[in-house]
């Protein structure tokens, strides 16, 4: 390192850091609610959500598995717009699908889930409609730098050594380098990629930013990234239920996340997030479709098995309106058959 460079770093230690020309939070957010578009029937919305999820997985496969140099940005933009439209009409369909689908390759499903969850959380925080597709893209691309992490480290079935951990953490700066080759990348995408592992108390990486140094998109992404990572099956770690994941995140609310963000996310998802399986007080088993903003413990659910373990008719139950029925526990293990049964039942809901 030349003397001149050493002096430049002493004067400004951030001289060679990536800097994003972020959109100010006050521009991104509005107090006015986005007018809700006409709802489709749950059956139609769920069918649209299933098709969107399949397309999202295909896009993720294109970039992460085929490692295409020419990333299909036009398709991603169109997909992000359609995901936003589905979430605005009825977020229950895409949100419940995030936890019902159990795809084999974590990196692919995590990219799709984070895309959906980022836009849903941004919407909940009052982000203006025109920016929501960029939050979909930011969630989708937040781990794009993992393209450049050796596969044996990405798939390592255990705790990583300090050197391996460094290689893994390098995905953030490698991803930033990759995205900056593109023309007209939204600052929302750049912020989300760069800041999704930064922590409110400064203990994150790559730069150890803290508090307001972390971009708004980074704060949103940090929450949804951890939620999906904890509640997804991973080779080296036990999957926890969405309910448990929210509980763990709440414990870290003062260190890891921006103040109030985990609480806001819990308000969006409810105590029992969409796609969770819960035991009801009449002995039946149900899947959660959507949180009830009036009562976080009483979401909209769909019975999957009755008290004798028999299949049920696809009839949604708004527990907020049913005093005699309540949730008395969550299912800790999620057999894949139950998920696919629940998916078929949701697809058959008559409005
Ligand atoms: Fe990451």
Determine the distance separating the centroid of ligand 1 and the alpha carbon of 142, expressed in angstroms. 6
Determine the distance separating the centroid of ligand 1 and the alpha carbon of 69, expressed in angstroms. 21
The span from the CA of 340 to the CA of 336, in Å, is: 6
Determine the distance separating the centroid of ligand 1 and the alpha carbon of 143, expressed in angstroms. 5
Determine the distance separating the centroid of ligand 1 and the alpha carbon of 287, expressed in angstroms. 29
How is residue 329 written in tokens?
A: 């526990």
Domain spans, the chain:
37-269, 277-347
Of 222, 220, 257, 290, which is closest to residue 29 (Cα–Cα)?
220
Of 225, 197, 193, 199, which is closest to residue 211 (Cα–Cα)?
199
Three-state SS at 301? strand
Determine the distance separating the centroid of ligand 1 and the alpha carbon of 307, expressed in angstroms. 42
| 36 band by pLDDT with thresholds 50, 70 and 90 | confident
Residue 103, CB half-sphere, CA atoms under 13 Å: how many? Answer: 18
Per-residue exposure over 65-101, b if at least 16 CB sit within 10 Å of its own CB, e if not: eeeeeebeeeebeebbebbbebbbbbbbbbbbbbbbb
The span from the CA of 157 to the CA of 155, in Å, is: 6
Q: What DSSP state is assigned to residue 38? A: P
Enumerate the β-bridge partners of residue 2.
none
Determine the distance separating the centroid of ligand 1 and the alpha carbon of 310, expressed in angstroms. 41
Of 278, 273, 313, 275, which is closest to residue 292 (Cα–Cα)?
273
Determine the distance separating the centroid of ligand 1 and the alpha carbon of 145, expressed in angstroms. 8
Determine the distance separating the centroid of ligand 1 and the alpha carbon of 70, expressed in angstroms. 22
Determine the distance separating the centroid of ligand 1 and the alpha carbon of 314, expressed in angstroms. 38
Choice between 351 and 241, residue whose per-residue pLDDT is larger:
241
Determine the distance separating the centroid of ligand 1 and the alpha carbon of 187, expressed in angstroms. 17
Determine the distance separating the centroid of ligand 1 and the alpha carbon of 43, expressed in angstroms. 34
Three-state SS at 278? strand
Determine the distance separating the centroid of ligand 1 and the alpha carbon of 222, expressed in angstroms. 9
Determine the distance separating the centroid of ligand 1 and the alpha carbon of 197, expressed in angstroms. 6
The CATH number given to 37-269 is 1.10.3210.10
Determine the distance separating the centroid of ligand 1 and the alpha carbon of 119, expressed in angstroms. 17
Q: What DSSP state is assigned to residue 253? A: T
Q: pLDDT value at position 63?
A: 87
C-beta atoms surrounding 253 within 10 Å: 17
Write the pLDDT tens digit of every residue in 43-56.
Answer: 899 999 999 999 99
Determine the distance separating the centroid of ligand 1 and the alpha carbon of 141, expressed in angstroms. 10
Determine the distance separating the centroid of ligand 1 and the alpha carbon of 218, expressed in angstroms. 11
Q: Is 107 exposed, middle or buried (0-12, 13-18, 19+ CB in 10 A)?
A: middle
Write the pLDDT tens digit of every residue in 267-314.
Answer: 999 999 999 999 999 999 999 999 888 877 899 999 999 999 898 888
Write the pLDDT tens digit of every residue in 159-218.
Answer: 889 999 999 999 999 999 999 988 899 999 999 999 999 999 999 999 999 999 999 999
Sign of CA dihedral 266, 122, 286, 252: negative
Q: What is the mean pLDDT of the chain?
A: 90
Determine the distance separating the centroid of ligand 1 and the alpha carbon of 332, expressed in angstroms. 26
The span from the CA of 107 to the CA of 128, in Å, is: 29
Residue 155 · residue 266 · CB < 8 Å: no
Write the pLDDT tens digit of every residue in 72-113.
Answer: 889 999 999 999 999 999 999 999 999 888 777 889 999 999
Of 269, 274, 287, 284, which is closest to residue 339 (Cα–Cα)?
287
Determine the distance separating the centroid of ligand 1 and the alpha carbon of 251, expressed in angstroms. 21
Q: pLDDT value at position 2?
A: 57
Mean pLDDT of 144-148: 94
pTM for the full model?
Answer: 0.92
The span from the CA of 116 to the CA of 48, in Å, is: 14
Determine the distance separating the centroid of ligand 1 and the alpha carbon of 342, expressed in angstroms. 30
Determine the distance separating the centroid of ligand 1 and the alpha carbon of 75, expressed in angstroms. 23
């Amino acid at each position: 390192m030349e003397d001149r460079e050493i002096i430049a770093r002493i004067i400004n230690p951030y001289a060679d850091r990536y800097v994003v020309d972020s959109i100010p939070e006050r521009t991104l957010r509005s107090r006015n609610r986005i007018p809700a578009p006409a709802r489709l029937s749950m059956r139609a919305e769920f069918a649209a959500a299933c098709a969107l999820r399949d397309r999202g997985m295909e896009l993720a496969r294109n970039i992460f598995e085929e490692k295409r140099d020419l990333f299909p940005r036009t398709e991603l933009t169109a997909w992000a717009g359609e995901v936003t439209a589905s979430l605005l009409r009825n977020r229950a369909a895409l949100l419940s699908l995030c936890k019902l689908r159990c795809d084999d390759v974590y990196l692919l499903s995590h990219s799709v889930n984070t895309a959906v969850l980022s836009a849903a959380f941004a919407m909940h925080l009052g982000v203006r409609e025109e920016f929501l597709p960029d939050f979909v893209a930011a969630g989708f691309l937040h781990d794009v730098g993992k393209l450049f992490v050796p596969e044996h480290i990405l798939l390592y079935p255990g705790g990583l050594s300090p050197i391996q951990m460094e290689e893994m953490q390098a995905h953030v700066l490698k991803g930033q380098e990759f995205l900056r080759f593109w023309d007209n990348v939204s600052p929302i995408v750049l912020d989300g990629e760069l800041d999704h592992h930064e922590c409110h108390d400064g203990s994150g990486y790559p730069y150890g930013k803290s508090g307001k140094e972390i971009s708004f998109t980074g704060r949103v992404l940090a929450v949804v990234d951890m939620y999906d990572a904890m509640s997804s099956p991973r080779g080296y770690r036990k999957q926890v239920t969405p309910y448990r994941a929210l509980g763990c995140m709440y414990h870290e609310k003062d260190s890891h996340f921006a103040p109030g963000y985990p609480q806001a996310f819990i308000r969006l998802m409810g105590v029992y997030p969409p796609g969770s399986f819960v035991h009801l007080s009449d002995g039946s088993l149900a899947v959660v479709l959507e949180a009830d903003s009036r009562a976080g413990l009483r979401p909209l659910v769909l019975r999957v098995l009755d008290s004798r373990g028999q299949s049920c008719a696809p009839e949604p139950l708004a527990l907020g309106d049913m005093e005699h029925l309540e949730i008395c526990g969550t299912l800790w293990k999620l057999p894949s058959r139950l998920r696919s049964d629940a998916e078929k039942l949701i697809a058959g809901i008559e409005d």
